[in-house]
Amino acid sequence: MDQKKLEELLHAVHKGQLSVREGVHRLRNLPFEDIGEAMIDHHRPLRKGFPEVIFGEGKDAEQMIMIMERMVETQDDILVTRITEEQAKAVLKRFPQARYHPRGRAITLQVSEEEVKGKGVILVISAGTSDIPVAEEAVVTATMMGNRVETIYDVGVSGVHRLLAHREKLMEASVLIVVAGMEGALPSVVGGLVARPVIAVPTSIGYGTAFGGLTPLLAMLNSCSSNVAVVNIDNGFGAGYIASLINRSQEV
């Protein structure tokens, strides 16, 4: 559309129907969206392989389905996060081709061909068993974005030898996502063992002074390992997303 407007304008200039001066004036006063958006959105196509994401919390099954229907039309890959089992059932009934990930509380509906775009392995580590839903949200996200993903669960710092037993796996990963609640110490320990970027995800697991994840968040931000960066509490999706970007080669 905007392309068409530009063409018409230039044709008119070309034919002399519009003076150069008037052309400049019109160009500067064309509704911004027409030119501006055209220019800015060059990077849209770069986004191929990025799922469209629906944050499920606070939405009912009907709303989700309605949004998904619109997306399916545009052939987008879809990721629904924070979905309950009940909601998942309703969604699957409508989209039998979708896939439900109960541990990661997510639904994926992949239209594009699955293709490994990331070069290395994304390793997702969780401190406790209660942190697994957040970890799995990261796994689902990173897998959908075309990465090989591996996991090590239940290797909290109070039994540091359990973590050390996986040294090989740690050393081979390209990016590491470390998910922990309570004192949030695991990213520091992991960060000290590897020479790759660590994305730390605090979880709201814990009680009392865990303050719904504030404590592990603060701990992670103060990590004595310099290769640790942090995302929001329980934000497994975000961790999987940024880890995918890190794992992609620059050429993409």
Enumerate residues 49-108 that contact a second copy by CB under 8 A.
50, 53, 57-58
Of 24, 66, 111, 116, which lies in the binding site for a second copy, with binding defined by CB under 8 A? 24
Of 1, 32, 75, 115, which lies in the binding site for a second copy, with binding defined by CB under 8 A? 32
Site string for a second copy, 126-165 (x = CB under 8 A): -xx-x-------------------------xxxxxxx-xx
Query: Amino acid identity of 209?
Result: T
Total number of residues that touch a second copy (CB under 8 A): 107
Of 91, 108, 215, 236, which lies in the binding site for a second copy, with binding defined by CB under 8 A? 215
Chain positions 216 to 235 lying near a second copy, rule: CB under 8 A, are: 216-235
Nearer CB in complex with a second copy: 97/249: 249
Phi, psi of 121 (to 5 degrees): -105, 135
8-46: b or e for each residue (b if 16 or more CB lie within 10 Å)? Answer: ebeeebeeeebeeeebeeeeeeeeeebeeeeeeeeeeee
Task: Confirm or reject binding of residue 35 to a second copy (CB under 8 A).
Answer: yes
Q: Where does this chain touch a second copy (CB under 8 A) — which range of 69-77, 83-91, 92-100, 206-214? A: 206-214
Nearer CB in complex with a second copy: 90/233: 233
Q: Sign of dihedral through CA atoms 202, 203, 206, 212? A: positive
Nearer CB in complex with a second copy: 93/167: 167
Q: What DSSP character marks residue 113? A: P
Distance in Å, CB of 57 to a second copy, minimum: 7
- Cα-Cα-Cα-Cα torsion 156, 157, 163, 164, nearest 10 degrees, comes to -170
Q: What is d(CA 234, CA 135) in angstroms, rounded to the nearest whole number?
A: 9
Q: What is d(CA 165, CA 163) in angstroms, rounded to the nearest whole number?
A: 5
Burial of 85 (0-12, 13-18, 19+ CB in 10 A): exposed
Task: Confirm or reject binding of residue 125 to a second copy (CB under 8 A).
Answer: no
Distance in Å, CB of 96 to a second copy, minimum: 27
